[in-house]
Structure 1
Amino acid sequence: MDPVSPSPLVAQVAERVRGRISSGEWGVGTKLPGEHTLAPLLGVSRPTLREAMRILAGAGLVESRQGAGVFVVATEPRVNWSVQLRRAALTDVYEVRVALEVEAARLAAARRTDGDMTAITAAMDRRVAAAGENDAAFVDADIALHAAIVAAAHNPILANLFTEFLPALRAGLINLVELLDLRAKLPNPGQDTHAALVAAVAAQDPEAAERTLRQELRNTLALLRRD
């Protein structure tokens, strides 16, 4: 079995295992290899494998039996498989967002200057105005606001990491808006949370900034992880 290449790793692992199930190699009733065996074969960590198994279980393909292991219970998913994989890919993106942006928000609240607040406020106004535009334009405005907050952290390494992450973030956010139909009823989703985040940075309250953004991202992760 060839190692799985990264990005999005969990989705690729899930697809690789599903392929072996669909092909009949691992038929219904088969006990899958344990984590210690399967994770090295796929070239991934055990936590990544567990997340992939969670996706497969949510699709009705495998079942974990306490004390016995993981068994194949169906050869075809009971849910839309492409949607499952899109959710997995978006989960990867949001986990990286938490790692990067929550700390950036904390630092921004502690370090922001008046010039930073001018840029952040302008970006917030642009996000509000973009509510009447298409999804891509709204996502771009949303990213610009988050980029302004990252810049206010005044950490060049963090800023560079965020810049490298931007293409994946933009694609993921556009996919998210479409997948969860976020703007169907509310053209400016997350307005209250983003306003609270900007207010926390303006008030130089690192704890509030961190708490607000972390909760926002965790709420989205919960939506993505629902079966």
Structure 2
Amino acid sequence: MTLDPLRRPTLAAEVLETLRRQITSGTWPVSSRIPPEPELMRQLGVARGTVREAVRALAHAGLLEVRQGDGTYVKAASELSGAVQRLYADQASTELLDVRAALEGKAAALAAARATDEDLAALTAALQRRADTWAARDLEGWIDADWEFHTCVAAASGNALLAELYRSLTEPLRASMTEFWDRPGFDGADPAGHEDLLAALRNRNPAEAARQADSNISSTADWHRDTV
């Protein structure tokens, strides 16, 4: 059998991968504006056409959004997250909640067995920020803290693929959280599914952790039904 000669990646492919790493590593966070073309050309030592080709490819993959006359912004942290946004940006959130329920219950059960002291400390800090931002009526801060708690649970599962799948839901689900903010009776500091879930993780109780995660999703689904 004859093997084809190996080919070195094109310069555009190398630039694309460099920019992609800036996004997936969080160096360029979601919603941030990336450096303008002249700056990228200077830093990378490449021509304008090479930068444009890489940016175009990343925009097609859903990671970047080019806004004419404004700049280029990070739209998603991974291709998977970008695909979820394209598929569900205008869809009813019930389908996303179904997927979230499947992931969160399993993540919570695994985290009860695998969470480290560092994981538990991060979860505790996220819940404190969640309570503080709710009391201060800081919507963006509350959304950040609430979502950080849930992504930390997924990370504490010790399953990298599960955590990545969960993070892919970030943008569409974060957008939906604003629906609850001013709903009469909504308590953004309710311990159910949060402090109670953390207690189950500390107690190394997988069944109770999964139950608390399911309870939180059920409550979220109820609020979604009330808003449509």
TM over 0.5: yes
Q: Distance in 2 between the 1:147 and 1:103 partners?
A: 13
Q: How does 1:143-182 map to 2 (within 5 A)?
A: 143-174=147-178, 176-178=179-181, 181-182=182-183
CA distance in 2, matches of 1:200, 1:223: 24
Task: Identify the residue that residue 204 of structure 1 maps to in structure 2.
Answer: 204
SS in 1 for 2:88: coil
Say which structure is richer in helix: 1
Aligned AA for 1:172?
A: S
RMSD of Structure 2 on Structure 1 (CA) = 2.2
The whole-number CA distance in structure 2 between the counterparts of 1:130 and 1:102 is 26
Q: State how 1:30-69 maps to structure 2 within 5 Å.
A: none
How many residues are paired up?
141
* 1:57-91 superposed Cα distances (whole Å, 9 cap, x missing partner): xxxxxxxxxxxxxxxxxxxxxxxxxxxxxxxx222
What is the CA–CA distance in structure 2 between the aligned matches of 1:192 and 1:224, rounded to whole Å? 17
- Tell me, in whole angstroms, the C-alpha distance in 1 between the residues paired with 2:170 and 2:211: 23
Provide the rounded CA distance (Å) in 2 between the counterparts of 1:121 and 1:6.
Answer: 33
Q: Residues of 2 paired with 1:221 and 1:185: CA distance?
A: 15
Q: Distance in 1 between matches of 2:224 and 2:156?
A: 29
Determine which of 139, 144, 149 is the counterpart of 1:140.
144
- Describe the SS at the equivalent of 1:193: coil
* TM-score normalised by structure 2 residue count: 0.55
Match of 1:7 among 88, 97, 119: 88
Secondary structure, aligned partner of 1:191 = coil
Instruction: Note if contact 1:123-1:144 (Cα within 8 Å) is conserved in structure 2.
Output: yes
Shift of 1:187: 5.4
Q: Is the 8 A contact 1:124 1:145 kept in 2?
A: yes
Deviation at 1:225, TM superposition (A): 3.2
Q: Which residue of 2 aligns with 1:64?
A: none
Cα offset, 1:7, TM superposition? 2.0
Deviation at 1:192? 3.8
**Preserved contact between residue 123 and residue 141 of structure 1 (Cα < 8 Å):** yes
1:192 & 1:165 partners in 2: Cα distance?
Answer: 22
SS of 2:180's equivalent in the other structure is helix
Q: Which residue of the partner structure matches residue 43 of structure 2?
A: none
Q: CA deviation at 1:208?
A: 0.3
Q: TM-score when scaled to structure 1?
A: 0.56
Q: Name the % identity.
A: 33
Structure 2 distance, partners of 1:189, 1:94, is 20
Q: Which runs of 5+ in 1 are unaligned?
A: 12-88
Give 2:108's aligned residue: 105
**Contact kept in structure 1, 2:111 and 2:154, CA below 8 Å:** yes
Secondary structure of the corresponding residue to residue 177 of structure 1: coil
Decide whether aligned partners of structure 1 residues 216 and 187 sit closer, same or farther in structure 2, where only a CA change above 3 A counts: closer
- Deviation (angstroms), 1:201: 0.7
In structure 2, C-alpha distance between the alignment counterparts of 1:152 and 1:115, rounded to whole Å: 9
1:197: how far off?
A: 0.6
The 1-side partners of 2:201 and 2:107 are apart by 11
Partner AA of 2:137 in structure 1: E
What does residue 85 of structure 1 align with?
A: none
